């Protein structure tokens, strides 16, 4: 079934059923992705190591949050 067909069928549902469907889809999208989390952990550890070894500079917090 195509996405367009699926949407057409979903629109035939009662409002409370459509709401339950949307809520279920949103909850699914909000679930943490273990693989993505692992990638970010690895990247942050690389950046921290590079910073501590002097191969990567930092930006002062004031510069980051400075309003222009």
Give residue for tokens 């949407």: 7
Cα separation of 49 and 10, whole Å?
50
| Whole-structure pTM value | 0.50
Question: Along the 68 residues of the chain, how does pLDDT read in single tens digits?
Answer: 899 999 999 999 999 999 999 999 998 888 888 899 999 999 999 999 999 999 999 999 998 898 87
Note the pLDDT of residue 55: 96
Note the pLDDT of residue 52: 95
Q: Are 22 and 16 in contact (CB under 8 A)?
A: no
């Amino acid at each position: 079934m195509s996405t367009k067909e699926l949407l057409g069928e979903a629109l035939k549902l009662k409002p409370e059923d459509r709401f339950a469907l949307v809520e279920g889809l949103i909850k699914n999208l909000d679930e943490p992705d273990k693989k993505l989390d692992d990638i970010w952990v690895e990247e942050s550890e690389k950046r921290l190591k590079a910073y501590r070894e002097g191969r990567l500079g930092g930006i002062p917090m004031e510069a980051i949050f400075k309003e222009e």
